[in-house]
Amino acid sequence: MDTLPPQIQTRCVLHVGCGAASPDKLPGHFFPAGEWREIRLDIDPDVAPDVVSSITDMAAVPNGSVDAVWSSHNLEHLFPHEVPLALREFRRVLKPDGFALMTMPDLQQVAKLVAEDRLTEPAYMSPMGPITPLDMLYGHGGSLAQGNAFMGHRGGFTARSLESSLLAAGFPIVRVVRDQSFALWATAYMGGGSATRP
């Protein structure tokens, strides 16, 4: 008798600050397709998210309803006093064995470029074009010039300050690493089970 393959259990990732829909906006951890279902959340209704909401108040997302939260370049758009609100919301919507994965500029690395008087020199290339330290500090200049005020930066982090913020928000297990594109990558685990760690 043939045996059937085990059912693939679909998990949910809440993609906060998702922007316009695109298949390449989720990092590799959330593939292969079919194992993760993306729920898109954004403050801008023009990008047609599943949920229109600020990340500081995601009341439309039930408590403990998602397996992961993915946040790419969102926390730096908040004022520093708003960051704890957003991180508490990330924790609130996660299941007990869930995790939050996020990335943002590493201001410690950016500060080195500024100290070398390279404020407006391209530091790396992105899909949006060359990115300068000025863009990483204050927001993407091209987008801001086109009237997209959502792209302005109001705060930022070093590896240590990001880790401290996540621990203060109640995540018991936090890992922060730097990459070669002047970014921090943080994974914050709920610690209540056997989450698949990225």
Asked if the model's pLDDT at residue 196 lies above 90, the reply is no
Angle, CA of 98, 103 and 108, to the nearest 5°: 130
Q: pTM for the whole thing?
A: 0.88
Domain hosting 185: range is 11-105+155-189
Specify the CATH number for the domain of residue 42.
3.40.50.150
Count of the separate structural domains present in the chain: 1
Q: Which amino acid is at 118?
A: R
Does residue 189 sit in helix, strand or coil?
strand
CA distances from 30 to 10, 35, 38, 40, 138 (A): 11, 8, 9, 14, 29
DSSP conformational letter for 64: T
The vertex-88 CA angle with 160 and 170, nearest 5°, equals 55
pLDDT in tens, 170-194: 999 999 999 988 999 999 999 865 4
Answer whether residue 88 is part of any domain: yes
Contact 13, 35 (CB under 8 A): no
Indicate whether 143 belongs to any domain: no
Residue 2 vs residue 31, higher pLDDT: 31
Average pLDDT value over all residues in the chain: 90
Residue 121, in any domain of the structure? no
Residue 57 covered by a domain = yes
Q: What is the pLDDT of residue 192?
A: 65
3-class state of residue 147 by DSSP: coil
* Residue bearing tokens 């993760």: 36
CA–CA distance, 84 with 42 (Å, rounded to integer): 18
In a domain, 111, yes or no: no
Helix runs in the chain, H state only = 83-93, 107-115, 133-138, 141-145, 159-168
pLDDT in tens, 74-84: 999 999 999 99
pLDDT band, very low/low/confident/very high, at 30 (cuts 50, 70, 90): confident
pLDDT of residue 54: 95
Quick check: is 4 in a domain? Answer: no
Give the pLDDT confidence score for residue 180 in this predicted structure: 83
Residue 79 lies in a domain: yes
The per-residue pLDDT for range 85-102, each reduced to its tens digit, is 999 999 999 999 999 999
For residue 116, being part of any structural domain is answered with no
